[in-house]
């Protein structure tokens, strides 16, 4: 059956627009100690942060690119052409009315203020390197919940910030966590006091507006004993002809009995290299759950992980990746069991369209001395065209006798007969594809919060619309 | 005249000729049966009418109420009122019958018009009741893990919901026990009327006891070799397909 695909102009209906740059702070192109000092000066960093950045830079320059196991495409990133810090210099406002007009219009087009009114407990909106808006509902703030940008967090709450910052993901974890450590800016700092359950999600929105630019936000979330919080992040960028780099570091700490749910709605344009390190630390009886949806980008490398440090800790990664024409989604999960009776669950679904490639990489580690640990891993891949590709690399090490592991993987293809059947009922080829893909992810999406699953279905429809020739 | 019309149709797949000069007209309001042995090209005809991309139409015409169907994609034909009940319906994993049919009904509405959900479900449940289907069926994935009878019943449910002008039933009787056959036949009979033309494709005469056709055609080697009233089916049942094959040979000789 004819299923030609053409180049997909993704996000053209949602995120593909850009306003002229309005930045007054610009570190220029290229990365050196000078760049790092510029950022530290502008942000008025304390000395320990400046030193942390310089260590990050040194490590970044020393470490080789992981092209031997990942993707040669990484070698096409020209680190000298990228601009590492761009900011309007206005600071984060508490009211949308105070946000500069152009930037405010950007977020209005993306629907952020509307969502905030509807169902969010707090919002932070980042435009290139810095947050331009940050607000938390009064009632939530009164419970002692802190929700600010990383710069404000390290300045105003050093006693909590410094204790955990860089502890879950050390500088030298990988080349891109080192890069982030050198030039990080923006991202969220969240602290939830003991026993506080934040009812509605806190949301951050990351927007890249500038060309030849790198966004390096740094997020740190600490849920104190018995507390609960859900955090959602959304990301978009306009479609430029040159490469854009997004390299975030996200650290989560769930103290005894706490629960953190972290949801990502990533919808990057096809020129973005998305190289993100995300990890959570789950203490006794705590739970860290990543819901990670990767749509768009040129290359995404992201493996959210949970270190199960305390007895009975639980870790979960539910992920969906859609690799369209020319895109590579290299995603997966890491579960490091480090205490008895810990459990982890990984469910990954990927869809490859056209020449798209989806790779699942999983790491599950249960050492010999532990007892009664459990892991369940399921990864399913759906291929749309004969040119689509999927790879699965599960690395599961379970030692000792009292631990259980379960692994299932499947690859399926949307058949020409299935599409013909659906077309015979009156659906266009694109509608048929989109319904098939939604059917494929349906049982997983049902576990997501309502607002998120609606958004995801809409994004999948948009992607499939553009993918049929 | 309002009819589904096939004129001198020639169809090949991978350079193999399957349909060789077939002509047929099914007027709206009538039920026509096509009977034929295995390999006569019956199912190919059904798929070609619906626009399956694997087959090449090398000559001939297909029109629906005067409109040339050969220029239209499968989904355009469907939205204009052509329905095919498949012999082997595909599974659509993860998509419930309710959502699938909803998308199909929505696809027939004018641009910008949203389907009214409560009305839709009321109609869906009504049709299901007529077909003796349990409501819990709507939340099952389309054809996934269905028995043969459930699949055929689901096809007829879709037929009932989509209200086409012309419906082709491709071996809807195959693989059904007598009770399932009666239910399906009852469903089809309840849809008969002046606004629909039905083309019933079958290998066996049995289903024609329950869905009585206005006309019967016998298809052998890719063309219609005999046409007649409902009694032709009984004659065929009695004399066998060899009798029909002889007729086909005669036709070939007379050319």
Structure tokens at B155: 């096809």
Verify whether the Cβ–Cβ distance A442 to B94 is below 8 Å.
yes
pLDDT at A22: 67
The count of domains in chain B is 1
pLDDT at A184: 97
pLDDT at A435: 93
The count of domains in chain A is 1
Q: How close does chain B come to A387, measured CA to CA in Å?
A: 19
pLDDT at A6: 35
Residues 6+ apart with CB under 8 A from A58: none
Mean pLDDT, residues A126-146 taken together = 89
Residues of B in contact with A426 (CB under 8 A): 75, 78-79, 104, 107-108, 162
pLDDT at A3: 36
pLDDT at A321: 95
* B148 belongs to a structural domain: no
Verify whether the Cβ–Cβ distance A1 to B89 is below 8 Å.
no
Of the given ranges (A68-72, B9-13, B148-152), which has the lowest mean pLDDT?
A: A68-72
* Chain A touched by B50 (CB under 8 Å): yes
pLDDT at A467: 66
Residues 6+ apart with CB under 8 A from B239: none
Q: How close does chain A come to B32, measured CA to CA in Å?
A: 21
* A53 belongs to a structural domain: yes
pLDDT at A8: 33
Listed residue (A280, A397, A254, A403) closest to A342, CA to CA? A403
* A403 belongs to a structural domain: no
pLDDT > 70: what percent of chain A?
A: 96
Q: Which of residues 86-115 of B touch A (CB under 8 A)?
A: 86, 89-95, 99-101, 103-104, 107-108
Q: Which of residues 159-218 of B touch A (CB under 8 A)?
A: 162
Encode pLDDT of A377-430 as tens digits.
999 999 998 899 999 998 999 988 889 999 999 999 898 999 999 999 999 998
Q: How close does chain A come to B137, measured CA to CA in Å?
A: 16
Cβ contact A312:A286 at 8 Å = no
Residue A182 pLDDT greater than 60, yes or no: yes
* B154 belongs to a structural domain: no
Mean pLDDT, residues B40-69 taken together = 96
Cβ contact A356:A327 at 8 Å = yes
**Residue B76 exposure: Cα atoms within 13 Å on the Cβ side:** 9
Minimum-distance CB partner of B92 among A2, A418, A426 = A418
Cβ contact B40:B220 at 8 Å = yes
User: Domain of A198?
Assistant: 12-245+272-279
pLDDT at A2: 36
pLDDT at B255: 55
* B138 belongs to a structural domain: no
* B26 belongs to a structural domain: yes
Return the top range by mean pLDDT from A29-38, A401-410, B231-240: A29-38
Nearest CA in chain A to B99: A435
> Band of the pLDDT at A261, cuts 50, 70, 90?
very high
Of the given ranges (A131-135, A273-277, B78-82), which has the lowest mean pLDDT?
A: A131-135
* A329 belongs to a structural domain: no
pLDDT at A106: 81
Return the top range by mean pLDDT from A391-405, A445-459, B187-201: B187-201
Q: How close does chain B come to A428, measured CA to CA in Å?
A: 6
Pairing, β A25-26 against β A86-87:
antiparallel
User: Domain of B41?
Assistant: 3-92+165-253
Bridge partners of residue A465, in order along the sequence: none
Verify whether the Cβ–Cβ distance A421 to B92 is below 8 Å.
yes
* A152 belongs to a structural domain: yes
Mean pLDDT, residues A197-220 taken together = 91
Cβ contact A346:A375 at 8 Å = yes
For position B207, which CATH number holds? Answer: 3.40.50.300
Verify whether the Cβ–Cβ distance A420 to B52 is below 8 Å.
yes
Q: Which of A422, A428, A443 to mutate to test the interface with B (most CBs of B within 10 A)?
A: A422
Residue A25 pLDDT greater than 90, yes or no: no
* B75 belongs to a structural domain: yes
**Residue A5 dihedral angles phi and psi, to the nearest 5°:** -125, 150
* B116 belongs to a structural domain: no
In this prediction the pTM is 0.85
Who has greater pLDDT, A13 or A437? A437
* A448 belongs to a structural domain: no
Residues of A in contact with B50 (CB under 8 A): 420, 424
pLDDT at A14: 62
Q: Which of B94, B100, B158 to mutate to test the interface with A (most CBs of A within 10 A)?
A: B94
Encode pLDDT of B100-132 as tens digits.
999 999 999 998 899 999 999 999 999 999 888
CA distance A286 to A342: 10
> Band of the pLDDT at A341, cuts 50, 70, 90?
very high
Mean predicted lDDT score pLDDT of chain A: 90
CA distance B57 to B17: 10
Mean pLDDT, residues A9-23 taken together = 61
CA distance B127 to B138: 12
* Chain A touched by B52 (CB under 8 Å): yes
pLDDT at A99: 85
* A169 belongs to a structural domain: yes
pLDDT at A139: 86
pLDDT at A212: 87
Mean pLDDT, residues A237-264 taken together = 92
Encode pLDDT of B127-169 as tens digits.
999 888 999 999 999 999 999 989 999 999 999 999 999 999 9
Mean pLDDT, residues B74-101 taken together = 96
* A310 belongs to a structural domain: no
Query: Complex ipTM, two decimals?
Result: 0.96
Of the given ranges (A3-7, A205-209, A213-217, B155-159), which has the lowest mean pLDDT?
A: A3-7
* A387 belongs to a structural domain: no
pLDDT at A109: 81
Separation in Å, CA A378 to CA A373, A375, A467 = 17, 10, 27
> Band of the pLDDT at B254, cuts 50, 70, 90?
low
Encode pLDDT of A183-192 as tens digits.
999 999 999 9
Residue A264 pLDDT greater than 50, yes or no: yes
* Chain A touched by B55 (CB under 8 Å): no
Who has greater pLDDT, A9 or B68? B68
């Amino acid at each position: 059956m004819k299923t030609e695909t053409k180049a997909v102009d993704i996000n053209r209906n949602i995120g593909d627009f850009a306003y002229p740059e309005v930045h007054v702070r610009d570190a220029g192109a290229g990365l050196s100690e000078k760049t790092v000092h510029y950022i530290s000066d502008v942000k008025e960093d304390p000395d320990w942060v400046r030193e942390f950045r310089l260590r990050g830079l040194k490590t970044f320059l020393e470490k080789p690119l992981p092209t031997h196991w990942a993707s040669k495409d990484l070698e096409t990133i020209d680190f000298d052409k990228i601009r590492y810090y761009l900011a309007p210099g206005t600071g984060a406002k508490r009211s949308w009315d105070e946000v500069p007009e152009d930037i405010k219009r950007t977020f209005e087009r993306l629907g952020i203020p509307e969502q905030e009114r509807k169902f969010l407990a707090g919002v932070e909106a980042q435009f290139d390197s810095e947050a331009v808006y940050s607000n938390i509902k009064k009632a939530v703030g009164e419970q002692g919940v802190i929700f600010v940008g990383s710069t404000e967090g390290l300045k105003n709450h050093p006693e909590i910030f410094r204790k955990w910052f860089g502890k879950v993901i050390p500088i030298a974890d990988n080349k891109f966590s080192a890069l982030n450590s050198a030039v990080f800016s923006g991202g969220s700092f969240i602290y939830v006091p003991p026993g506080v359950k934040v009812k509605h999600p806190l949301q951050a929105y990351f927007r890249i507006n500038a060309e030849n630019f790198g966004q390096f936000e740094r997020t740190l979330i600490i849920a104190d004993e018995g507390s609960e919080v859900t955090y959602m992040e959304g990301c978009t960028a306009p479609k430029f002809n040159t490469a854009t780099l997004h390299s975030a570091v996200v650290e989560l700490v769930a103290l005894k009995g706490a629960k953190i749910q972290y949801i990502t709605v990533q919808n990057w344009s096809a020129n973005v290299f998305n190289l993100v390190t995300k990890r959570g630390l789950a203490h006794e009886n705590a739970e860290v759950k990543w819901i990670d949806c990767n749509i768009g980008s040129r290359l995404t490398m992201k493996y959210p992980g949970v270190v199960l440090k305390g007895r009975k800790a639980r870790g979960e990664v539910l992920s969906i990746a859609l690799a369209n024409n020319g895109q590579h989604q290299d995603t997966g999960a890491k579960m490091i069991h480090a205490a008895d009776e810990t459990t982890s669950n990984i469910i990954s679904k990927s869809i490859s369209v056209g020449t798209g490639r989806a790779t699942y990489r999983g790491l599950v580690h249960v050492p010999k001395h532990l007892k009664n640990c459990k892991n369940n891993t399921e990864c399913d891949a759906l291929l749309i065209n004969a040119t689509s590709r999927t790879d699965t690399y599960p690395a599961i090490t379970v030692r000792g006798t009292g631990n259980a592991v379960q692994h299932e993987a499947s690859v399926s293809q949307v058949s020409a007969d299935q599409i013909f059947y659906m077309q015979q009922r009156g659906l266009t080829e694109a509608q048929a594809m989109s319904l098939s893909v939604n059917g494929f992810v349906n049982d997983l999406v049902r576990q997501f919060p309502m607002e998120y699953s609606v958004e995801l279905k809409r994004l999948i429809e948009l992607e499939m619309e553009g993918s049929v020739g | 005249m309002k009819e589904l019309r096939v004129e001198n149709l020639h169809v090949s797949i991978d350079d193999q000729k399957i349909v060789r000069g077939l002509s047929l007209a099914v007027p709206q309001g009538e039920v026509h049966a096509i009977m034929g042995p295995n390999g006569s090209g019956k199912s190919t005809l059904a798929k070609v009418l619906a626009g399956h991309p694997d087959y090449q139409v090398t000559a001939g015409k297909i029109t629906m109420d005067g409109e040339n169907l050969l220029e239209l994609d499968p989904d355009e034909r469907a939205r204009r009122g052509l329905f095919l009940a498949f012999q082997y319906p595909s599974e659509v994993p993860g998509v419930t019958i309710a959502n699938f049919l909803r998308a199909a009904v929505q696809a027939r509405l004018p641009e910008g018009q949203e389907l009214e959900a409560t009305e839709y479900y009321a109609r869906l449940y009504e049709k299901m009741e007529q077909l003796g289907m349990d409501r819990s069926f709507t939340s099952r994935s389309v054809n996934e893990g269905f028995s043969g009878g459930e699949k055929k019943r689901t096809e007829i449910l879709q037929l009932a919901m989509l209200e086409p002008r012309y419906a082709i039933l491709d071996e809807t009787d195959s693989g059904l026990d007598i009770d399932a056959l009666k239910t399906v036949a009852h469903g089809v009979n309840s849809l008969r009327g002046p606004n629909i033309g039905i083309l019933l494709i079958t290998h066996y005469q049995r289903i024609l006891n329950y869905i009585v056709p206005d006309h019967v055609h016998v298809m052998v080697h890719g063309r219609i070799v005999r046409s007649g009233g409902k009694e032709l089916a009984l004659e065929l049942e009695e004399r066998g397909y060899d009798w029909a094959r002889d007729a086909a040979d005669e036709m070939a000789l007379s050319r």
